[in-house]
Homo-oligomer: A and B are copies of this chain.
């Protein structure tokens, strides 16, 4: 397994040099504790935990997997111990509310930590990530009594959370769900139904699990407008917070999966289980979207984390493996040159590097917006940040997980035959990463969310607000680094034009949304990364102009930006052509004629 090394140097570049987190934290109500020294110390400690505790467990979790026996699930050897260390270290409570035991640091700090954990061990990190989503959902939609009863234990990490949406006949289409909730005289509900694909749905890490479950009340309207959200504890909880007996929810089986073997993916059977309504009746989808949106950004981090991990493994191998003479031999004293001397190997490594570092910036950019949306005392700032997040969430989720597929596959390819062998760990990255393009809404769903809801339904307002920011950046830079600023400006204008063209086409034919969705999503992702790579280049150039020490690092930033603009951004040429082909190219064929 490639040993994970937390990329602290680049994380600091992202948050300190490019995105000015120190200034951001200083101006954020409640952010004053997050001084650069504190942030740096927290990142150092998280890096150690990721490198020394989680990374060694990653191949073990893959090999051993989770085991189901009679409704109970054992996590892989070492997972419990790591979880205990994580909780004892206070990592779960980092960015949580102090009134429930949290440390009240800005949420973005949690994001920075999660990148490292998920790079080191995706399957393990899903357990606390689901708890974090449950905490946010309860914070936003729970009653005071519910918060008092559930949040302290969740934040402490003694209890965990899950999200229970999917049923056998409904994945993307939650309107079809059948799980029911019967009101009881004591104000609770009896939940009945079967949920599947429930990540972390059963485990041996915590003494209780709080399932957040979508279900229908009697007489509820059909479709998504008749869905309510319930909290169903695995072990029922007395009013004083102490544990009572087992609730009528059980894990019927766990899935055999392509990857993330260390995380139990469960069928959960609710047989009249006692539950509590969270938020208003029939508003369950609204409430659950707090969880879903946070999870989508979490999946973006997983995608970026895999890209980073695969890059590290490939780079290490490419420096050590001697094979053939490069056109310009670099090591004449050795029997062959290291393969990093070969142009095609560099093409693969630079693609991974550009996605890893660009993706890190995108996640950090989003994390900054989360801080603002939650903590700013200016309602206009909160609103703007919320809109920016709404636009960027499907882009980050969709684009960074597609980039992860490519990066993980390139990581295998750099290793050649060894990439296909389990012990080298590169193929595990590809298997684990594969789910990120699927769960929390497939990337097809992300594309439709972006193009349909976030761009067209908003009449382009959210998009124009963001492109306005990019244009302002270009204006401010107009006499510098024209190799990036010029193409970026064109790219952004084409983004707007493309969205308007699609909007026009949709008025003629509603199939045009779905026909353009994924290509538009990918176009958007490449464009957003172009902005962030231009920002990086400008920042790096400024450091070089000032005569910094670390010239190699900043030069590499400029070179990677150049690679990105010259070799990856042109992929949008093809995406535009594909969008322009329109729905007819997809819909003309009779279903029967697809024939085998």
Query: Which residues of A come within 8 Å of B, CB atoms?
Result: 5, 7, 9, 166, 169-173, 175-176, 197, 255-259, 311-312, 315, 319, 322-324, 326-328, 330, 335-336, 338, 340-347, 349-350, 353, 405, 409, 412-413, 416-417, 419-423, 427, 430-431, 434-435, 437-439, 442-444, 447-448, 509-515, 517-518, 552-553, 555-556, 559-560, 562-563, 566-567, 570-574, 577-578, 581, 583, 585-596
Instruction: State the CA gap A94–B574 with chains docked (Å).
Output: 44
Given known pairs A323-B172, A416-B172, A427-B434, the reply for A518 and B347 (CB within 8 Å) is yes
In the bound assembly, the distance between CA atoms of A285 and B563 in angstroms comes to 37
**A570-B566 CB under 8 A given contacts A420-B435, A592-B552:** no
Residue of B nearest to A324 (CB): B173
14 intermolecular pairs with C-beta atoms under 8 Å apart: A7-B596, A256-B422, A258-B431, A338-B591, A343-B512, A344-B514, A347-B515, A350-B585, A413-B442, A416-B442, A419-B438, A566-B577, A570-B574, A570-B578
* A412 close to B438 (CB less than 8 A): yes
A573/B563 in contact, CB under 8 A: no
Given contacts A322-B169, A343-B515, contact A589 B559 (CB under 8 A): yes
Which 3 A-B residue pairings sit nearest by Cβ, starting from the closest?
A: A570-B577, A343-B514, A327-B510
Assess whether A328 is in contact with B510, with CB atoms less than 8 Å apart: yes
CB of B571 within 8 A of CB of A559, answer no
Task: Decide: A439 near B417, CB < 8 A? Known: A343-B586, A553-B593, A585-B562.
Answer: yes
- Contact check, B573 vs A447: say whether CB atoms are below 8 A apart: no
Question: Which residues of chain B are near A311, meaning CB under 8 Å?
Answer: 596
Tell me if A596 and B312 are in contact (CB < 8 A): yes
Contact assessment for A405 and B409 in the assembled complex, using a CB-CB cutoff below 8 Å: yes
Q: Are A434 and B430 in contact (CB under 8 A)?
A: yes
Establish whether residues B574 and A421, one from each chain, have CB atoms under 8 Å apart when the complex forms: no
A342, A345, A419, A518 pick with most chain B CB within 10 angstroms? A342
Chain B residues within an 8 Å CB radius of A448: 344
Asked if residues A422 and B257 are in contact (CB atoms below 8 Å), the reply is yes
Cβ 8 A contact of A594, one of B9, B315, B419, B591: B315
How many monomers of this chain does the complex have? Answer: 2
Q: Which residues on the B side are within 8 Å of A258 (C-beta)? A: 412, 420-422, 427, 430-431
Among B511, B512, B585, B594, the residue within 8 A (CB) of A349 is B594
Q: Is B340 in contact with A171, judged by CB distance below 8 angstroms? A: no
Contact A593 B312 (CB under 8 A): no
Shortest Cβ distance from residue A170 to the other chain B in the assembled complex, whole angstroms: 7
Closest to A325 in B: B173
- Report the nearest B residue to A439, measured CB to CB: B417
Q: Are A344 and B173 in contact (CB under 8 A)?
A: no
Give the shortest distance, in Å, between A315 (CB) and chain B (any CB): 6
Residues in B with CB closer than 8 Å to A423 are 256
**Bound-state Cα–Cα, A593 to B312, Å:** 13
Residues of B contacting A173 in the complex (Cβ-Cβ under 8 angstroms): 323-324, 336
What is the CA–CA distance of A553 and B342 in the complex, to the nearest angstrom?
46
Q: How far is the CA of A66 from the CA of B328 in the complex (A)?
A: 43
A514 touches B327 (CB 8 A): yes
Given contact pairs A173-B336, A340-B591, a sample of 19 additional A-B residue pairs in the complex whose CB atoms are under 8 Å apart: A171-B416, A327-B514, A330-B591, A340-B594, A344-B444, A344-B517, A347-B515, A416-B438, A417-B438, A552-B593, A559-B589, A559-B593, A560-B589, A562-B585, A567-B585, A570-B573, A570-B578, A573-B573, A573-B574
- Residues in B neighbouring A581, C-beta threshold 8 A: 563, 566-567
Q: In the complex, which of the residues B336, B439, B514, B594 contacts A353, with contact meaning CB atoms closer than 8 Å?
A: B594
